[in-house]
């Protein structure tokens, strides 16, 4: 069983090694759009277990009327025997200094429930109807 103590986080450039991880987190954006956000200043991090990439996340800060807001643009990680949300979320939150809040978007109700246990609450629901 893996130990969370063996996990490290490394900031770095875009690479093919992060694409499968970020693709897992896609809702409406594409990998190309995520890469564009990274090129525009969003910070990319790899979740490492030894020399293996076991996840990735992309973060940015938006300016809002209420002040700066941290945005988890995309995040996914998996390692057998490790609760990656409980392990990685404190690291993600620590990357946002001076923000008034942190937000994320998801289409996964299970993630909403799990993140609620960490203090996140739903603020809105977005519904879309495709018109042919």
Q: Is the pLDDT of residue 1 over 80?
A: no
The domains located in the chain, with CATH, are 4-104 (3.40.630.30)
3-class DSSP state of 4: helix
pLDDT at residue 26, rounded to an integer: 85
Q: Are 9 and 84 in contact (CB under 8 A)?
A: no
3-class DSSP state of 34: helix
pLDDT at residue 125, rounded to an integer: 75
Question: Residues for the chain: how many in total?
Answer: 132
* Residue 3 phi, psi (nearest 5): -115, 135
Q: How far is CA 124 from CA 3, 59, 102, in A?
A: 36, 21, 14
Q: What is the pLDDT of residues 50-107, one digit of tens each?
A: 999 999 999 999 999 999 999 999 999 999 999 999 999 999 999 999 999 999 988 8
Q: Are 69 and 103 in contact (CB under 8 A)?
A: yes
pLDDT at residue 93, rounded to an integer: 95
Q: How far is CA 37 from CA 102, 103, 125, in A?
A: 17, 16, 24
Q: What is the pLDDT of residues 8-59, one digit of tens each?
A: 999 999 999 999 999 998 877 899 999 999 999 999 999 999 999 999 999 9
pLDDT at residue 3, rounded to an integer: 57
pLDDT at residue 4, rounded to an integer: 56
Separation CA 106–CA 85 (nearest Å): 14
């Amino acid at each position: 069983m893996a130990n969370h103590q063996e996990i490290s986080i490394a900031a770095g450039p875009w690479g093919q090694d992060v694409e499968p991880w970020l693709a897992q987190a896609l809702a409406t954006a594409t990998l190309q759009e995520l890469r564009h956000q990274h090129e525009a200043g969003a910070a990319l991090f790899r979740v490492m277990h030894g020399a293996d990439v076991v996840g990735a996340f992309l973060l940015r800060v938006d300016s809002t009327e209420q002040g700066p807001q941290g945005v988890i643009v995309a995040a996914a990680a998996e390692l057998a025997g490790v609760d990656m949300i409980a392990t990685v979320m404190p690291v993600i939150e620590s990357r946002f200094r001076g923000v008034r809040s942190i937000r994320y978007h998801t289409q996964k109700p299970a993630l909403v429930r799990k993140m609620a246990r960490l203090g996140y609450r739903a603020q809105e629901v977005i519904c879309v109807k495709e018109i042919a």
